[in-house]
Amino acid sequence: MGSPRQTQIPPLELPRYGADRLSGIRCVATTLKQEVPKESALTAMALQRLDALAVLTMTGSGFERRGGGATGYVRSTYLAHLIPDPTTPWTISSPLSLEQLAQQDLMDLVEALESEFSRSLPASSASTTAEQVLIVGVISPTSTPLEVEANLAEVALLVESAGGVVVETIYQKRSHPHPQTVVGAGKVKEIALRAQTLGVTLIVFNQDLSPSQVRNLETQIGLRIVDRTEVILDIFAQRAQSQAGKLQVELAQLEYMLPRLAGRGQAMSRLGGGIGTRGPGETKLETERRAIQRRINTLQQSVNQLQAHRSRLRQRRQHQRVPSVAVVGYTNAGKSTLLNVLTNAEAYTADQLFATLDPTTRRLSIPDPETHQMRTLVLTDTVGFIHNLPPPLMDAFRATLEEVTDADALLHVVDLSHPDWENHLRSVMDLLATMPITPGPGLIAFNKMDQVRSEALALAQDQFPQAVFISAQERLGLNTLRQKLVELVNYSVTSRK
């Protein structure tokens, strides 16, 4: 009883049949004014995916005086229902009599509508079981169009690297995120409506969310809400191959999830699968907080042991006077490809973010022009950096990141073909500046020069005259890079003495 907004069923309690199905619920509302259904009622209909909404205009003396015994009668009716149109997802009939409304065969209408919804679904959602994702961006008003595009494009790449399919991207410019829902109330309704229309199964935000914000958004929208950090953790859970990598991923997941366990209630069913739910730590999320904390303590001890083991290996290399070079850079810059080309390693490479998680160490012999002898170096491919690397990852991967701080020199690989390469370079430099130990001297190698326009190449050469320009895929500029590495290592070893 009541208007569609008053009788709105909470989204989490609605049946979920998919984007090609309606909810199986019909709403009959009454009004004293002869007017078409308002947008608020139609929006409520769309959010609940109602089969139909019938609005009856009532009139009669019984509605005009208090305590009267007369009854009203139906003057006219309107019938509204959803249609597969992304711009206007509903249609409203012309005024109907009550007899005309009663003659409507709603079952035939529902079956016809669901057939149309099924035909209008995107090919990606119809042909794959991958998560259909709606990305929501919260953008600062001071951000430039290039920064907005780069930010949202990176989140889309993260989603695709995790195995999802980006259906659409929505963003809102806000000076400060809303404390309860990140975006405004109107934008929350817009997101919910687009999610219903597009048939998405997951909503990803481009920034970290608090536990209360996730709960509020899931309650109002009725879909799983995942933030940027959860997507990155999911990618790491898929990429980790070694025991050490799995260990650090589980630690990062548990440290991230521990403060989010309280009050999640029904959200614990998120463990059913999908982005943000996979990994070695996923079965621990339903245990008690104390048990999780004990597991975290155990993992931290294991990471400390791993840290000590790698420290002994580094000391052994230093004792043997084998200089080390850590290959650092933004994720997907081509670090693993370069390591494979230089050392004939077989590190996994792919055009994905965080394709390589476990560090790979290989020896490289280069002729030294000063001594006319072969100079042996150790190259270590480290985990890719990213803008605003989540703190749980920084803490959990400290054993890996120490390969950077203890290296004699750094080789900073930059993807020059990326339109936002300057911010990528700056992000890596800022992360390196936060290391507890100052890394050794570095050499910048601009990669993928064969895919770069002449203007961008000239700009990089002007700003970084000491850098080298290479293409690891096409094996261009590698001889110059080898000689620069020898010079860099000789300078580092000499300066440390």
CA atoms of 481 and 269, how far apart (whole Å): 51
Asked if residue 299 lies in contact with residue 254, where contact means CB atoms within 8 angstroms, the answer is yes
Same domain as 455, residue 331: yes
Instruction: With respect to residue 105, please indicate whether it lies within any of the assigned structural domains.
Output: yes
Going by C-alpha positions, the residue among 234, 440, 448 that lies closest to residue 335 is: 448
Q: How far apart are the first and last CA of the chain?
A: 84
Paired tokens of 147: 């920064």
* Final residue in a domain of this structure, among 64, 94, 121: 121
The stretches in the chain having pLDDT less than 70 are: 1-3, 12, 15-19, 60-72, 121-128, 241-242, 261-274, 276-289, 307, 310-311, 313-321, 345-359, 390-403, 405, 436-439, 493, 495-497
Asked if residue 214 lies in contact with residue 136, where contact means CB atoms within 8 angstroms, the answer is no
Q: What CATH number did the domain enclosing 154 receive?
A: 3.40.50.11060
Same domain as 143, residue 93: no
Paired tokens of 248: 């650090």
**6 burial level (CB within 10 Å; 0-12, 13-18, 19+):** exposed
Residue where the block lists tokens 């992000």: 427
Query: What's the domain range around 111?
Result: 11-121
Q: What is the pLDDT of residue 187?
A: 92
Q: What CATH number did the domain enclosing 488 receive?
A: 3.40.50.300
Q: What is the pLDDT of residue 283?
A: 47
Asked if residue 251 lies in contact with residue 244, where contact means CB atoms within 8 angstroms, the answer is no
Instruction: With respect to residue 288, please indicate whether it lies within any of the assigned structural domains.
Output: no
Same domain as 344, residue 420: yes
385: CB partners within 8 A, 6+ apart? 328, 329, 330, 331, 427, 428, 431
Q: What is the pLDDT of residue 136?
A: 94
Q: Is the dihedral of CA 165, 171, 177, 179 positive or negative?
A: negative
Same domain as 112, residue 221: no
CA atoms of 465 and 442, how far apart (whole Å): 14
CA atoms of 103 and 268, how far apart (whole Å): 45
Provide the domain count of the chain: 3
CA 232 to each of CA 155, 259, 354: distance values in angstroms, whole numbers, following the listed order:
10, 18, 9
Q: What is the pLDDT of residue 229?
A: 87
* Final residue in a domain of this structure, among 75, 101, 121: 121
Instruction: With respect to residue 285, please indicate whether it lies within any of the assigned structural domains.
Output: no
Same domain as 168, residue 214: yes
CB pairs under 8 A, 24+ apart, for 421-427?
421/446, 421/456, 421/460, 423/147, 423/150, 423/387, 424/330, 424/333, 424/387, 425/330, 427/330, 427/385, 427/386, 427/387, 427/388
Instruction: With respect to residue 389, please indicate whether it lies within any of the assigned structural domains.
Output: yes
Asked if residue 54 lies in contact with residue 104, where contact means CB atoms within 8 angstroms, the answer is no
User: Could you tell me where the DSSP H helices lie in 271-367?
Assistant: 289-319, 335-343
β-pairing, 202-205 vs 165-173, is: unpaired
| pLDDT tens-digit series, residues 58-80 | 776 444 445 444 456 777 888 99
Same domain as 482, residue 440: yes
Going by C-alpha positions, the residue among 82, 27, 78 that lies closest to residue 56 is: 78
The Cβ-side half-sphere exposure at 104, using a 13 Å CA radius, reads: 19
Paired tokens of 421: 């390469």
| pLDDT tens-digit series, residues 143-188 | 888 888 888 998 998 999 888 999 999 999 998 999 999 999 889 9
Same domain as 116, residue 130: no
Q: What is the pLDDT of residue 203?
A: 94
469: CB partners within 8 A, 6+ apart? 416, 445, 446, 449, 457, 460, 461, 477
Instruction: With respect to residue 269, please indicate whether it lies within any of the assigned structural domains.
Output: no
* Final residue in a domain of this structure, among 86, 105, 121: 121
Asked if residue 492 lies in contact with residue 408, where contact means CB atoms within 8 angstroms, the answer is yes
Q: What is the pLDDT of residue 282?
A: 47
Specify the DSSP class assigned to residue 93: P
pTM over 0.85: no
Q: What is the pLDDT of residue 386?
A: 78
Asked if residue 77 lies in contact with residue 96, where contact means CB atoms within 8 angstroms, the answer is yes
Same domain as 138, residue 73: no
**323 burial level (CB within 10 Å; 0-12, 13-18, 19+):** buried
Same domain as 175, residue 44: no
Asked if residue 52 lies in contact with residue 41, where contact means CB atoms within 8 angstroms, the answer is no
CA atoms of 153 and 177, how far apart (whole Å): 20
Instruction: With respect to residue 263, please indicate whether it lies within any of the assigned structural domains.
Output: no
Instruction: With respect to residue 382, please indicate whether it lies within any of the assigned structural domains.
Output: yes
Same domain as 143, residue 27: no
User: Could you tell me where the DSSP H helices lie in 384-469?
Assistant: 391-396, 398-405, 421-433, 454-463
269: CB partners within 8 A, 6+ apart? none
Same domain as 164, residue 140: yes
CA 435 to each of CA 395, 400, 431: distance values in angstroms, whole numbers, following the listed order:
11, 12, 7
**151 burial level (CB within 10 Å; 0-12, 13-18, 19+):** buried
Same domain as 94, residue 15: yes
CA 75 to each of CA 94, 103, 457: distance values in angstroms, whole numbers, following the listed order:
13, 17, 73
